[in-house]
Structure 1
Amino acid sequence: MEARAINRFVGTSPMKMRLVIDLIRGRGVEEALSILHFSPKHASKSAEKVLRSAISNLQNKDESGRIDPSQVFVKEAFVNGGPMAKRVMPAPMGRAFRIRKRSHHLTIVVAQRQQKVRANPKAKSAEAAPKGAAAPVEKSKKSATKPKASASQKKAATES
């Protein structure tokens, strides 16, 4: 199960937010929250709010309401560019420089880790073979490497 939270039209540069988001992608939510909380970057405050919202959305989505926070991780986190406000700054000799005030859209998706069930691989291959048929034979690969020359052989080759 997964849930997402989106914060749109945030008034900071997408590049500044990507520096923060790259730190939490793929991590557990507890670790990600602590990284964002103690990060000195200004963008980490809004990223922390969005992450908390995504966790809350996941808890509301679950019918039982019992989600173990240690099993939740940041599945996806990405920043897309938003609209740019264009301003003009006067420049020398009658020219004008354009200032682009950038914004971004932040999306964070959290999900629960799935419990992996490991089956016995030998029992699986024995069940796959029909009765009366011979068991599959595993082939071993031969090494195709040449034997290395000793130090005395290398020295003799360089002297001649």
Structure 2
Amino acid sequence: MNQNNLESKAVGRYLRLSPNKTRRVLDQIKGKDYQEALMILQFMPYKPCKMIRKILKSAGSNANNLNMNQDNLIINKAFANEGPKLKRFQPRAQGRAFPIHKPTCHITITLINKT
């Protein structure tokens, strides 16, 4: 297989994060170098950064298994899809119930070699 066609992928599923807030962070690292993206995520103050960093490291390890050099990796694709919503109810006055939808998301990160 040609070294230029290789891509490494990692997926995190059913994460208890909002897909919209996660996409905001993923847009910051899309197209960046692997090492640079790890540095950016380390110092960003948002909740999804920790999980995204974990998934990015996993994609880097998968790339290492494919004999891809980690110094030459860039983030090709990074996206968050909606997962199932956890449905809960909050009790309200006079016996009523107020629905609460707790979102989940699936994060996918793909790395390729620089050309």
Mapped to 1, the partners of 2:98 and 2:24 lie a distance apart of 27
Aligned identity (percent) is: 39
Higher fraction of strand: 2
Query: In the TM superposition, what whole-angstrom CA distance separates every residue of 1:131-150 from its partner, at most 9, and x where no partner exists?
Result: xxxxxxxxxxxxxxxxxxxx
Name the amino acid aligned to 1:108: I
Higher relative contact order (CA 8 A, sep 6+): 2
- The secondary structure found in structure 2 opposite 1:40 is coil
Structure 1 residue 22: deviation in Å?
A: 1.0
State the Cα RMSD in Å: 1.3
Is 2:29 the partner of 1:28?
no
Asked which structure has the greater CA Rg, the reply is 1
TM-score (norm 2): 0.89
- Equivalent position of 1:73 in the other structure: 74
Moved runs in structure 1, 4+ residues, more than 2 A? 91-95
Structure 1 residue 91: deviation in Å?
A: 2.3
Match of 2:46 among 18, 41, 44: 41
Query: In the TM superposition, what whole-angstrom CA distance separates every residue of 1:68-101 from its partner, at most 9, and x where no partner exists?
Result: 51x2100000001111110111223433211001
How many residue pairs were aligned?
A: 110
TM-score (norm 1): 0.65
Q: Which blocks of at least 5 consecutive residues in structure 1 are unaligned? A: 115-160
Is 2:87 the partner of 1:86?
yes
- Equivalent position of 1:52 in the other structure: 57
